[in-house]
A and B are shown apart, each in its own frame.
Chain A
Amino acid sequence: MNYGPLLFLGILFTLASSWVGLVLMPNRQLGGLTPDTSTNAAGVVVVYPQARPGEAQQGAEIYRSLGCVYCHSQQVRPEGFGSDIERGWGKRRTVSRDYIYDKPVMLGTSRTGPDLTNIGERQPSVEWHLSHLYNPQITSKGSVMPPYPFLFEVRPVGARGPSADALKLSGEHAAPAGFEVVPTAAAKQLVAYLRSLKTSSPLPEAPLPRKGESDDAKSSATATNTPASK
């Protein structure tokens, strides 16, 4: 192997193969996915997925900036593979079409904390999320999630009494007397984003399991991946 040009070509062609196979081909297959339009039982036309409204989109930027993805995944594995569905993290597996509006896509590789694909359905309460962000020990004793005190403002209670959006804290976590804990705009945006995380609308390639037909549901949930084309 003393012939430079041959070595050079070999080096280029080997990488070119996976560049075509794992970069260009996925882009060709998945890069043009569009939302699904269907009619539900009530006769209403449903378009899924949809781009996030403004405040939730701003919250996605906070989620990105604080690096939530390093402990929380956003993907539900198929039934029978892990316990994602048994744990209630989703009603069905997630598929590529669920993510077409995400920039960046934050699937995550770690579950130091629970999966958040459907946190908007599992925990719709704004108050819960704000308390949890202020100090996770309030809602989840023993959690290793860091508190985010910098997303809140501790300020003196005004002359007209406590603010409407002040956190209702008690016991050891309560603000000092005469002070209140108020979420910043960033905290509200982050909660809006978390509440927007819902992936339970059925898609043709990932239908919801039907009650009483779990075998059928299992096979359709695991056998289907994504459509061969858009």
Chain B
Amino acid sequence: MSAPSKTLSALMPGDVPAGDGRRALLAEIDASCRVPVLFFVVSGLAWLLLGTLLALVASIKLHHPGFLASWEFLTFGRVRPAHLNTVIYGWASQTGIGVTLWLMCRLCRVPFVAPGLATVAAVFWNLGLTVGTAGILAGDSTSIEWLEMPRYATPILFVSYAMIAVWSVITFRLRTERHLYVSQWYLLAALLWFPWLYATAQIMLVMEPVRGTVQAAVNWWFAHNVLGLWFTPIGLGAIYYFIPKVIGRPIHSYYLSVLGFWSLALFYNWNGLHHLIGGPLPAWMITVSIVASVMMLVPVTVVAINHHFTMWGHFSKLWHSPTLRFVVLGAVCYTLTSLQGIANSLRSYSEVVHFTHHTIAHAHLGVYGFFTMVMFGSLYYVLPRITCREWPCLGLVSVHFWACTLGLFLYVVPLSVGGFLQGLAMNDASVPFLKVVEGTLPWLKLRTCAGLLLGLGHLAFVANVAWMLARVFGPYRKPVVALLTGQETPVVVGK
């Protein structure tokens, strides 16, 4: 490891040197990102709305099993995996890719390389997802968690992903900024880890399934790493970029950022088999994953110190910046969900919460509370810059933030408690099973209320984005914001 630079550039996302031409170069980079990044983000939002709708249907079915029961394609066992795949691969992955592309350009200090390649990749990604989601609803789900899309859809996604990986290597090679800011370590790692994970899982589980419980090992090695080595590095990379950027203050410690990155790289990828505690696999496999899960205390603590100490004393800025509000909420949720995950991986705790709704609450604290919140925050920063337009309605921003925050709280807290009680009741053999089921109903109904709040937040956000895009492409175009173009006088693009 090279000696850390003591200069500010090691501690700030130094995407361009200060001075003459600074805004102009930033504006050129942002403008070059417009088409590919918008394509990923806008299609991500469309999948978010579909995924939310599927989630609501699934949630209502769990307390009113007769709801929409006569349609085979809407049975719970199909709607639930359709929800997971649309929000994971449709919303979170696509928006994550969109934000990553923009961050890579900014941090490498190069205008978007080969925008056509990335746009074609986005088209393929959406094509694969459409085919895959339709396949799940039609009954071709593989029933392998996180990999439900049928084998005729996944190669399309893989082709798309390969194009993005090629793009990222080209961009990295063409970089004009020699300093690698901490966000770039995380983003580069995510871009390289994901194809390996996906290819291994597809080959060993879907194309040529391995024998017996080896499938379960590969399944959870993959599924946990989608969180740990794909969403987590993108989310952490974005937090490391946006917190210092918005508050104008360097990150707390360079040494801690190095330690946090490498300890995450070392330990996170060994965590997956803690999903099989009590299961039929040999004890060593599960134990090694529990050990690695506990070791996650190192990167989690280090990253928490680094993020929260950077923010320390600057909380008043949360009122002014929606980016900061969402990103800091995401950073707090990352700390919480990681600590909860470590607890869940212990045998004694898992004995109670495994197989219950507690796990579902935990998953949403991670993918929603951490990753989705960070992505919302990132979009509040990125979209005005690539469209050169301000957010049209601040009221919608408030609705978005408060509906999603309250919805998240109402989702995670009651369901964690309800799941824990469900686990205690299930482990008491004197409680009849149907009594256990009955005990979960109030919590499941609260979950549907939470889902409605989240849906309201999503609609507010999508309305704001649509309004903004109407000012770019629609008949009522508004002039661009001068500051964002790097020019002295306002110009109207497209006229």
Residues of A bordering B, CB below 8 Å: 1-4, 6-8, 10-12, 14-15, 17-19, 21-23, 25-27, 29-33, 63-71, 73, 75, 77-78, 81-83, 86-87, 93-114, 136, 140-150, 225-226
Contact = CB atoms under 8 A, between A and B. Distances in A.
B280 A95 contact: yes
Nearest to B284: A225
A71 B78 CA distance: 12
B212 A2 contact: no
- B178, B216, B218, B275 interface centre (most CB from chain A within 10 Å): B216
B65 to A, nearest CB: 5
Contacts of A18: 221, 225, 269-270, 272
Contacts of A71: 76-77
Interface residues of B, number: 89
Contacts of B258: 1
B93 to A, nearest CB: 18
A97 B212 contact: yes
Contacts of B288: 21-22
B188 interface: yes
Contacts of B229: 15
A86 B431 CA distance: 11
A112 to B, nearest CB: 7
Given A22-B273, A142-B437, 14 more contacts: A1-B2, A7-B185, A10-B262, A11-B192, A18-B221, A69-B77, A82-B427, A87-B429, A109-B354, A112-B437, A114-B433, A146-B69, A149-B70, A226-B282
B272 to A, nearest CB: 6
Interface string B41-74: 0000000000000000000011101100111100
B426 A83 contact: yes
B200 interface: yes
Interface stretch (B141-149, B364-372, B392-400, B453-461): B141-149
B482 interface: no
- A14, A112, A136, A146 interface centre (most CB from chain B within 10 Å): A146
Given A22-B221, A64-B141, A87-B429, A105 B215 contact: yes
Interface of B: 1-2, 4-5, 61-63, 65-66, 69-72, 75-78, 80-81, 139-145, 172, 178-180, 185, 188-189, 192-193, 196-197, 200, 204-205, 209-218, 221, 225, 229, 258, 262, 265-266, 269-270, 272-273, 275-276, 278-283, 285, 288-289, 347, 351, 354-357, 359, 426-429, 433-434, 437-438, 440-441
B61 A142 contact: no
A94 B196 contact: no
Contacts of A113: 437
A106 B229 CA distance: 25
Nearest to A226: B282
B437 A96 contact: no
Contacts of B61: 146
B81 A67 contact: yes
B355 A33 contact: no
Contacts of B221: 18-19, 22-23
Contacts of B212: 30-31, 33, 96-97, 99-102, 105
A25 B270 CA distance: 13
Nearest to B193: A15
Contacts of B359: 109-110
A15 B195 CA distance: 12
A107 B355 CA distance: 11
17 contacts: A1-B2, A12-B192, A14-B266, A25-B285, A26-B218, A27-B210, A69-B143, A69-B145, A75-B280, A82-B351, A96-B281, A98-B280, A104-B143, A104-B209, A104-B215, A109-B354, A144-B63
A68 B77 contact: yes
Contact of A105 (B179, B213, B262, B437): B213
Given A67-B81, A67-B141, A11 B281 contact: no
A23 B143 contact: no
B355 A226 contact: no
Given A66-B78, A69-B143, A148-B75, A11 B216 contact: no
Contact of B200 (A4, A21, A23, A66): A23
Contacts of B65: 136, 143-147
A68 B141 CA distance: 11
Nearest to B261: A1
A97 to B, nearest CB: 7
A87 B200 CA distance: 37
Contacts of A97: 212
Contacts of A150: 70-72
B142 A104 contact: yes
A94 B280 contact: yes
A147 B66 contact: yes
Nearest to B229: A15
Contacts of A32: 211
A41 B2 CA distance: 69
A73 B279 CA distance: 10
Contact of B179 (A2, A100, A103): A2
Nearest to A68: B77
Nearest to B5: A2
A105 to B, nearest CB: 4
Given A18-B270, A66-B78, A146-B76, A87 B433 contact: yes
Nearest to A117: B280
A213 B275 CA distance: 32
A106 B188 CA distance: 34
Contact of A77 (B189, B196, B278, B285): B278
Nearest to A77: B278
List 8 A-B pairs, minimum CB-CB distance, nearest first.
Answer: A67-B77, A86-B429, A77-B278, A111-B355, A18-B269, A65-B139, A14-B265, A83-B429
